[in-house]
């Protein structure tokens, strides 16, 4: 690895290329993992694209809840596309290298889509809170303009955090080694390769994680605390069941996304393990984005019906 690094550095004091660590020295294991990840990646892209298309083409779903769901699907597509293609390439070829610029680009988009999703999940929780706790004021408080502003803020915060963190980390020098003990350019493994004192950068990553992961999560908890209190005093069992059913899909997605993300970025540095970090990263980059469309389509009758109509139209167009 030292020889490879010196060739890649091209006599520069800072590493110009990185290399991702091998998943396994056994080719059969890499082939199996490639097949599994490719299948999940394809399912994620197909499921999220279909949900976004179904919501876009069905006027009955042009409501705040489904507007946010369509945004979530688009974020999931970007989130997985920023990581999985390069991972698949590394699994089946020796071309595991990535330029410094390419690594910075991947880190930006991964952070951008991930933080945007954190904020959007909080906006979705606020939407459910208003719908259940203030139904008479729902149309005014969650107008098209308000929903658009919440979506823009979510994407904007993700963009600003992504630019800030990526710029701050890649302003450092990387003197070698150049092998990233991970399968994509995530913040902690890249920081581990930097020269000199990185305590300020590590503190910045932790603060950003606290603000952008914990703050939206607390908003979600507060929103659903109010929702639960409102549901418990509803006189009608049918009303309680309907209110809970509209929240269950979102709560399950929040649990999957925040559970793996918070364990990765909010636990102390001393407890980090490259093997565990890789497993967690596989969970929140591949599995979660694959499960989200399934969760929403199985637990939401309106989404399921819209998907059936959309697929039915596609079949008719194909036959025609």
- Residues 6 or more apart whose CB falls under 8 angstroms from that of 46 comprise none
Q: Give the DSSP H or E segment for 238.
A: helix 237-265
Q: Domain extents for the chain?
A: 26-302
Q: Hey, what are 192's tokens?
A: 């581990």
Determine the distance from the C-alpha atom of residue 6 to the mean position of all C-alpha atoms in its chain, rounded to a whole number. Answer: 35
Q: Going edge to edge, which strands form the sheet with 179-180?
A: 97-99, 17-20, 179-180
What is the pLDDT, as a whole number, of residue 166? Answer: 93
Which of the following CATH numbers is that of domain 26-302: 3.90.850.10, 1.10.10.10, 3.40.50.150, 1.20.1070.10?
A: 1.20.1070.10
Angle ∠(309,314,317) on CA atoms, nearest 5? 125
Confidence at residue 298, expressed as pLDDT on a 0 to 100 scale: 62
Position 294 scores a pLDDT of 82
The pTM of the full predicted model, rounded to 2 decimals, is 0.85
pLDDT by residue, tens only, the chain of 320 residues:
443 454 344 445 567 888 887 777 777 888 888 899 999 999 999 989 988 988 888 888 889 989 999 999 999 999 999 999 988 888 887 777 888 899 999 999 999 999 999 999 999 999 999 998 888 899 999 999 999 999 999 999 999 999 999 998 888 888 777 888 888 898 888 888 888 778 888 888 888 878 888 888 899 999 989 988 888 888 778 777 877 777 888 888 888 887 777 776 666 666 566 667 777 777 778 888 888 888 877 666 777 777 777 666 555 445 55
- Asked if residue 58 lies in contact with residue 309, where contact means CB atoms within 8 angstroms, the answer is yes
**What is the bridge-based pairing of β-strands 97-99 and 179-180?**
unpaired
Residues with Cβ within 8 Å of residue 258, at least 6 apart in sequence? 118, 121, 213, 217, 220
| Token pair belonging to 234 | 């509803």
Q: Give residue 292's pLDDT.
A: 82
Residue 119 phi, psi dihedral angles, 5° rounding: -70, -40
pLDDT of residue 253: 84
């Amino acid at each position: 690895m030292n020889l490879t690094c010196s060739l890649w550095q091209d006599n520069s004091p800072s590493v110009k290329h990185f290399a991702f660590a091998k998943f396994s020295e056994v080719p059969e294991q890499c082939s199996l993992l490639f097949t599994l990840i490719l299948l999940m990646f394809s399912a994620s892209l197909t499921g999220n694209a279909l949900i976004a298309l179904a919501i876009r083409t069905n006027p009955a779903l042009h409501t705040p809840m489904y507007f946010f769901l369509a945004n979530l699907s688009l974020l999931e597509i970007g989130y997985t596309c920023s990581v999985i293609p390069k991972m698949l390439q590394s699994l089946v070829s020796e071309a595991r290298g990535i330029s410094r610029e390419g690594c910075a680009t991947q880190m930006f988009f991964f952070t951008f889509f991930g933080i945007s999703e954190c904020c959007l999940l909080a906006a979705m929780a606020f939407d459910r809170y208003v719908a259940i706790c203030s139904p008479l004021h729902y149309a005014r408080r969650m107008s098209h303009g308000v929903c658009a502003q919440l979506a823009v803020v979510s994407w904007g915060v993700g963009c600003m955090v992504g630019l800030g963190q990526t710029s701050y980390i890649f302003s450092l020098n990387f003197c070698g080694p150049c092998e990233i003990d991970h399968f994509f350019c995530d913040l902690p493994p890249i920081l581990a390769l930097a020269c000199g004192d990185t305590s300020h950068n590590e503190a910045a990553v932790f603060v950003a994680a606290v603000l952008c992961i914990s703050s939206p999560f607390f908003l979600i908890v507060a929103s659903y605390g109010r929702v639960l209190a409102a549901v418990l005093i509803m006189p009608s069992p049918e009303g309680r069941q309907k209110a809970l059913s509209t929240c269950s899909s979102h709560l399950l997605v929040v649990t999957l996304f925040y559970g793996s993300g918070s364990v990765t970025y909010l636990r102390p540095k001393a407890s980090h393990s490259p093997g565990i970090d890789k497993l967690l990263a596989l969970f929140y980059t591949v599995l979660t984005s694959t499960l989200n469309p399934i969760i929403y389509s199985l637990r939401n009758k309106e989404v399921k019906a819209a998907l059936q109509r959309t697929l039915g139209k596609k079949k008719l167009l194909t036959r025609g």
